[in-house]
Structure 1
Amino acid sequence: MTKHTYEYGLIGNCSYQAHIHKNTNIEWMCWPRFDSSFIFGKMLDSEKGGEFSIQPSEGIKESRQYYLENTNILCTEITSAEGTYRVTDFAPRFHQYDRYFKPLMLVRKIEPLQGRPRVKVICHPVADYGNLTPSQYEASNHIEYLGLEKEVRLTSNFSLSYIVQNRDIVLNETKYLVLTYGAPLEAPLASTCESFLDMTKRYWRGWVKNLSVSNFHQAQINRSALVLKIHQYEDTGAIIAAGTTSLPESPGSGRNWDYRYCWMRDAYYTLTAFNNIGHFEELERYFNYIVNISVKSSERFQPLYGITGEEQLVEQILDLKGYLGNQPVRIGNQAYTHVQNDVYGQLLAALLPLYVDRRFINLERSDSLNLIHDILKQIDQLMDEPDAGLWEFRTLSQYHCYTYLFHWAGAKAAHKIGKAFDNKEIMLLAEKLIKDSSEKIEACFDATRGVYTQAIGSKNLDASNLQLIMMGYLENDSEAAKKHLIELEKELRSKEGLFYRYKHSDDFGEPETTFLICAFWHVEALTCAGRVDEAIKAFENLLTYSNHLGLLSEDVDAKTGSQWGNFPQAYSHVGLVNAAYRISRKLDRPNFF
């Protein structure tokens, strides 16, 4: 079997994302939100997905794709028999009027580099997941697409007639294409595009300069941080797991999920990564998102919500061909109905820095201690309730070790918050829950093998229990931690150094692919256990599973090295950042010098 990789780059501005193929086509872009219908979706259906490409008339001989260093600005260089040209794609983002300018605007700059290439510009947006094709109206300097929810307009200095008629155009000077949703571009085209490009470039490079990272694989950390940044929907603070839906975990598996929502769990790991690299505005925005959810949540927190806090994420199957023919294509996610009790501890752990880190003003949070106390009470009430676990088993409810680990970690975080504010009520309840959750974790211990199993009464092992070491439940230099790690490696590590989540059958059979973040957890556990040389070697091996731009998928086929699952996956980039941070701390070089 040949190796499969995703031949896409990702751009975004915290309002939207776009996946751009090496052939210049926008293969996936949802407007006006991350979880809206795609406006371009050829990734999931070649016929109904629309198209937005700038391709050579004589066919592509070579394609080279790269990011402008330390930015989310993507360049695609195309060579044909007639010449070479470059397409620079970006989503404008920069400071303006004391806030961020992040419009629903896609800017494409097309420059001839060599020869006289002829190109064909195709722009066919769609709506309602490919069921609606708008009509085109050609105006003096733009094409308007009619029939969509808001005005979609393509403004260009290309010949509009040639675009509408799908005719070849000789590229002998720099051209621009600006696609807008809602508010159109009503300014000089070329100078505005150049100005937006320059300000966007300066914004991203300034953002990267403010990262606090070591020189241990710094370029990869920077790229992962840039990817993670554009997974936050800045308007509400929600952080999505991925910008795509229904990219299969393995071919023909049926494990095709919509990840364009905010999982409490994923957000915790993402915010940990931002905290590790010294960026905090994402956490403050997420706090506001949580506060708004907590006001609406009458009984208990769901595992995930929509990006504006929607609770009902009803799963539907669409009439689309699917990625490489893999069906079903789903929107919505049934997991919103699941009982996943680890979410409470993750909320407390995620919010901890806002309460105890002196870089934040504690008085700003003192009036929200009720939220902390309420979450603790929820943990207390749910201590004896089985759940679906972090892997979201649809028909298997257990007393998961991972859930109790986060009861323990959340209670530990709450205790620190209570101590910071001298709130004895919070501290006392937290102490009780630390003890109760520890007893549950110990009930998962298999003394014969010296390993903590997936759940109480289960013999199955689970890679999530690597975090018993990472989170300090097991003393890092203890024999218990070393033995636990060895047993997990024996059963779940592939000979290629990748990690399976678990090996037992679930609702869809036995998992066929490895889960990339589990391998990064393994790197962290190795580091904690003092096996630092092994950790570095394992980390560097994992870097080889990225695509041509350093972007990581959710899953990897251990045998072929193929990328599968939604892409790029925030989880995986979080794993990279946190593993690199852990290693750099162990090497005693957390800062560059």
Structure 2
Amino acid sequence: MDNLDYGIIGNCRSAALISKTASLEWCCLPEFDSSSVFAKLLDDEIGGSFEIRVSTQYKIKQRYKKHTAILITRFEDGEHIFEVHDFMPRYVKGPSQYYAPPEVYRFIKHISGKPRFSVHYDPRLAYASGKTETYVKKNFVVSLTQGEKFETVFLYTSFNKNAVVEGREIEVTENGYFLLAYNEKIFQPSTRKTYLELERTKVYWLNWSNKTPNYKKYNAQINRSAITLKLLTYNKTGAVLAAATTSLPETIGEVRNWDYRFCWIRDASMVIKVMADLGHTNVARRYLQFIVDLIPDKDEKLQIMYGINKEKKLTEKTLDHLKGYKGSKPVRIGNAAYHQRQNDIYGILMDVLYAHLNKFGTDLENGEELWGITKGIAWIVSKHWR
């Protein structure tokens, strides 16, 4: 697919896509499968975005901070240099407890000189289905829509709020921040607190990546792929998403545009097998618990896919007001494919169950339940394929 070049940030609760020029063009809050706050990816006119704009004299480079999910975009015009560090907070709060709020941070790091930029802040809540109103308040900027669904989102910043909303030019002489939050903050954010969140999130990802083995060849690519797969896991239930997006077409201009923010048993099982082989056994454990929760009865048939919160009915609808990626309509949410059959899901899932029952042995908390599910699947397959 041409020109689809985005960085992904996330915290295993939701994710955001950011262009090579630091334009935030896809983000759903508070969860992966919630309605969008920004959806320029699917409609460059009404979808909404959060852009950092500079003059054409700036050279722009982008990279990930090594071994993390922190995306850094560097803007340089001679001696005038600044960076945007984009991330969604995720770090350990206690035993098996993670802090992962529905928030996007944009830490503005002043490097040298007096660089200047302007902001195009244009949230379009609820898939841009109605008018989004934005108001500047004392401590934040609030955006809301009152269409079919009432939604709000809050923007906190160290910069002049009116200048931000009006798109006026801002001069950077010190570090600053933007915080996009789904919920109103109890305690006022600050640049210092933003930096602390950045460092905590960095440490989390460095520790996580340290579990991935080192390889003589393609080590950087393997590590980055592992981080990306981790970003597509949903910590709350253990589900693994096929993608963080909806309605990106298989072919530009055609209609095969599906919502992939769901957990396909076959695809997720393949991901889990790889992640476990890379040493990320906690991802595997949570996914296996997801499977246990899905099948309370031994003779229950598996669907090919489920919602990330274990939903079994995934009603599909089209959003006709959005023109789609590069005009590729329709834009769909939900997925009617949950009615379909994929007979190969049983073999792949059984392979994962067998491997991990052997690998974890008596240390696997839900081992007996998984063994019961394994026998149940074998019974279902033998009954229907004889």
CA deviations on 1:172-206 (whole Å, 9 max, x unpaired) are 22110011112526144112111111111111111
Which residue in the other structure is 2:178 paired with? 177
Which structure 1 residue ranges, 5 or more long, are not aligned?
A: 385-593
Greater shift, 260-269 or 360-369, is seen at 360-369
Output the CA distance in 1 between the equivalents of 2:362 and 2:201. Answer: 28
Output the CA distance in 2 between the equivalents of 1:37 and 1:237. Answer: 21
Which residue in the other structure is 2:52 paired with? 54
Please state how far the C-alpha of 1:82 moved relative to its aligned partner.
8.9
The amino acid of 1:245's aligned partner reads T
Contact 2:26 2:49 in 1 (8 A): no
Output the CA distance in 2 between the equivalents of 1:35 and 1:175. Answer: 30
Output the CA distance in 1 between the equivalents of 2:297 and 2:41. Answer: 35
Provide closer, same or farther for how the CA distance between residues 141 and 277 of structure 1 changes in structure 2, counting only shifts above 3 A: same
Please state how far the C-alpha of 1:294 moved relative to its aligned partner.
0.9
Output the CA distance in 2 between the equivalents of 1:150 and 1:296. Answer: 38
Which residue in the other structure is 2:129 paired with? 131
Output the CA distance in 2 between the equivalents of 1:147 and 1:170. Answer: 31
Output the CA distance in 2 between the equivalents of 1:160 and 1:77. Answer: 23
Provide closer, same or farther for how the CA distance between residues 360 and 29 of structure 1 changes in structure 2, counting only shifts above 3 A: farther
Q: How does 1:199-278 map to 2 (within 5 A)?
A: 199-278=200-279
Output the CA distance in 2 between the equivalents of 1:298 and 1:22. Answer: 49
User: Does residue 1:306 correspond to 2:303, yes or no?
Assistant: no
RMSD, matched Cα: 2.2
The amino acid of 1:42's aligned partner reads K
Contact 1:31 1:37 in 2 (8 A): yes
Output the CA distance in 2 between the equivalents of 1:252 and 1:297. Answer: 44
Contact 1:125 1:133 in 2 (8 A): no
Aligned with 1:41 (options 39, 42, 48):
39
Which residue in the other structure is 1:376 paired with? 378
Specify the SS of the correspondent of 1:121. Answer: strand
Contact 2:298 2:376 in 1 (8 A): no
Please state how far the C-alpha of 1:51 moved relative to its aligned partner.
1.5
Which residue in the other structure is 1:322 paired with? 324
Please state how far the C-alpha of 1:54 moved relative to its aligned partner.
1.6
Please state how far the C-alpha of 1:71 moved relative to its aligned partner.
0.3
Contact 1:14 1:231 in 2 (8 A): yes
Which residue in the other structure is 1:102 paired with? 100
Output the CA distance in 1 between the equivalents of 2:361 and 2:103. Answer: 35
User: Does residue 1:71 correspond to 2:73, yes or no?
Assistant: no
CA deviations on 1:54-98 (whole Å, 9 max, x unpaired) are 211x24643211000000000011245894321110011111133
Q: How does 1:155-166 map to 2 (within 5 A)?
A: 155-166=156-167
Contact 1:93 1:100 in 2 (8 A): yes
Q: How does 1:289-438 map to 2 (within 5 A)?
A: 289-295=290-296, 299-319=300-320, 320-358=322-360, 361-362=363-364, 364-383=366-385
Output the CA distance in 2 between the equivalents of 1:242 and 1:60. Answer: 35
Please state how far the C-alpha of 1:278 moved relative to its aligned partner.
1.0
CA deviations on 1:139-196 (whole Å, 9 max, x unpaired) are 2221122337454211111001112222111122211001111252614411211111
Aligned identity (percent) is 36
Query: Between Structure 1 and Structure 2, which shows a larger proportion of helix residues?
Result: 1
Provide closer, same or farther for how the CA distance between residues 383 and 77 of structure 1 changes in structure 2, counting only shifts above 3 A: same
Output the CA distance in 2 between the equivalents of 1:121 and 1:222. Answer: 33
Which residue in the other structure is 2:5 paired with? 7
Output the CA distance in 1 between the equivalents of 2:260 and 2:297. Answer: 22
The amino acid of 1:242's aligned partner reads A
Which residue in the other structure is 1:551 paired with? none
CA deviations on 1:459-478 (whole Å, 9 max, x unpaired) are xxxxxxxxxxxxxxxxxxxx
Contact 1:283 1:351 in 2 (8 A): no
Provide closer, same or farther for how the CA distance between residues 82 and 130 of structure 1 changes in structure 2, counting only shifts above 3 A: farther
TM-score normalised according to structure 2 size:
0.92
Contact 1:41 1:50 in 2 (8 A): yes
The amino acid of 1:263's aligned partner reads W
Greater shift, 82-91 or 9-18, is seen at 82-91
Output the CA distance in 2 between the equivalents of 1:61 and 1:360. Answer: 58
Provide closer, same or farther for how the CA distance between residues 257 and 372 of structure 1 changes in structure 2, counting only shifts above 3 A: same
Output the CA distance in 1 between the equivalents of 2:357 and 2:87. Answer: 36
Please state how far the C-alpha of 1:297 moved relative to its aligned partner.
9.7
Greater shift, 106-115 or 7-16, is seen at 106-115
Which residue in the other structure is 1:195 paired with? 196
Q: How does 1:523-534 map to 2 (within 5 A)?
A: none
The amino acid of 1:146's aligned partner reads L
Output the CA distance in 2 between the equivalents of 1:254 and 1:16. Answer: 26
CA deviations on 1:85-125 (whole Å, 9 max, x unpaired) are 21110011111133111111111011233442321122222
Output the CA distance in 2 between the equivalents of 1:44 and 1:129. Answer: 10
Specify the SS of the correspondent of 1:257. Answer: strand
Contact 1:82 1:118 in 2 (8 A): no
CA deviations on 1:476-498 (whole Å, 9 max, x unpaired) are xxxxxxxxxxxxxxxxxxxxxxx
Which residue in the other structure is 1:421 paired with? none
Specify the SS of the correspondent of 2:323. Answer: coil
Aligned with 1:30 (options 21, 28, 31):
28
Provide closer, same or farther for how the CA distance between residues 28 and 185 of structure 1 changes in structure 2, counting only shifts above 3 A: farther
CA deviations on 1:334-383 (whole Å, 9 max, x unpaired) are 21111112122222222223311146615641244321211111111232
Provide closer, same or farther for how the CA distance between residues 368 and 111 of structure 1 changes in structure 2, counting only shifts above 3 A: closer
CA deviations on 1:230-264 (whole Å, 9 max, x unpaired) are 10011011000111112122223322221110000
The amino acid of 1:162's aligned partner reads A
Provide closer, same or farther for how the CA distance between residues 269 and 29 of structure 1 changes in structure 2, counting only shifts above 3 A: same
The amino acid of 1:259's aligned partner reads Y
Output the CA distance in 2 between the equivalents of 1:275 and 1:96. Answer: 24
Greater shift, 220-229 or 30-39, is seen at 30-39
Aligned length: 381
Which residue in the other structure is 1:140 paired with? 138
The amino acid of 1:91's aligned partner reads M
Contact 1:105 1:180 in 2 (8 A): yes
The amino acid of 2:327's aligned partner reads G
CA deviations on 1:16-39 (whole Å, 9 max, x unpaired) are 100001121111111111111111
Provide closer, same or farther for how the CA distance between residues 180 and 368 of structure 1 changes in structure 2, counting only shifts above 3 A: same
Larger Rg: 1
